[in-house]
Amino acid sequence: MKGTLWCLHGAVGAAADWRGFAVPGWAVQRVDLWRFLDCCPMSLPEFGQALNEEARAAGAGEGKQVLVGYSMGARLALHALLAGGPWDAAVLVGPHPGLEDPAERAARRAADAEWAARALSGDWDDFLAAWNAQPVLASSATLPERSVLKIRRQAIARSFMDWSLGAQEPLWDRLGEVKCPVLWVTGEADPKFQALASRAVPLLPNVESWSAPGSGHRVPWQAASAFAARVGEFLERWDS
């Protein structure tokens, strides 16, 4: 094996979402993000440090370490990269470097507090239906069965508070600190994140961008074969 792809799922997601993802020659480590919030609060920077420590311990002498993050997982991946982790490369799918307007951040925290309340104590099926009905997700692929996540609802609710986009310090001015090769991925039918990418990509020193044809926000599942092939090409080009 050339190394390990550390895959971080999105909000209201699961490590098992990455079960079908594979790149020849690479091991896949599907990270359960909810275990980081099972016992107590954890900020975004604290998560970055915790994941980096775990990757250093697990990856010693085991080849290259590549970070792969989707949406919320891509924001978490950015924090790990900026915390000086052991990452040789990264694939970021639909990341958001942060809201710069304090009023927007406050509004997002308030909205996410409502999602947290629904995740924690509302009807679970109603919560899932409302989550998937959001415009950014409505045109995307349907992920595997979410009902099993009900047992993780406390950690999921906490993520809406601790890992809210409103709780994230804007990272725009720090993107230049990410020195490893980065593949920045968006869906062709995801205009909000296309616009974010058009601003963010020029700020990174070693980056490629790819827009998945016909895909919405959930690129790794809506364009699964094309995504895996594109990641493989990126890794092959960088590793050679």
Q: Give 121-134 pLDDT, tens digit per residue.
A: 999 989 988 998 88
Q: Is the pLDDT of residue 195 over 70?
A: yes
Q: Which domains does the chain have, with CATH numbers?
A: 3-102+170-239 (3.40.50.1820)
CA-to-CA distance for 178 and 146, rounded, in angstroms? 33
Q: Which residue has the higher pLDDT, 62 or 95?
A: 95
Amino acid at 95: P
pLDDT band at 147 (very low <50, low <70, confident <90, very high): low
Q: Quick one: tokens of 53?
A: 């420590």
CA-to-CA distance for 132 and 117, rounded, in angstroms? 17
CA quadruple 43, 47, 53, 57: dihedral sign = positive
Q: Give 77-92 pLDDT, tens digit per residue.
A: 999 999 998 999 999 9
DSSP 25-60: TEEEEEE-GGGGSSSS---HHHHHHHHHHHHHHHHT
- DSSP, collapsed to helix, strand or coil, labels residue 213 as coil
Amino acid at 41: P
pLDDT band at 135 (very low <50, low <70, confident <90, very high): confident
Q: Quick one: tokens of 64?
A: 């290259």
Element (H, E) at 87: none
Query: Average pLDDT, whole number, for the chain?
Result: 93
Q: Is the pLDDT of residue 61 over 80?
A: no
Amino acid at 46: E
Q: Is the pLDDT of residue 206 over 70?
A: yes
Residue 29, pLDDT score: 96
Q: For residues 66 and 26, is the Cβ–Cβ distance under 8 A? A: yes
Instruction: Give the CA diameter of the chain.
Output: 51
Alpha helices in the chain (DSSP H): 44-59, 72-82, 102-121, 124-132, 135-138, 153-162, 191-200, 219-222, 224-239
- Is the whole model's pTM more than 0.85, yes or no? yes
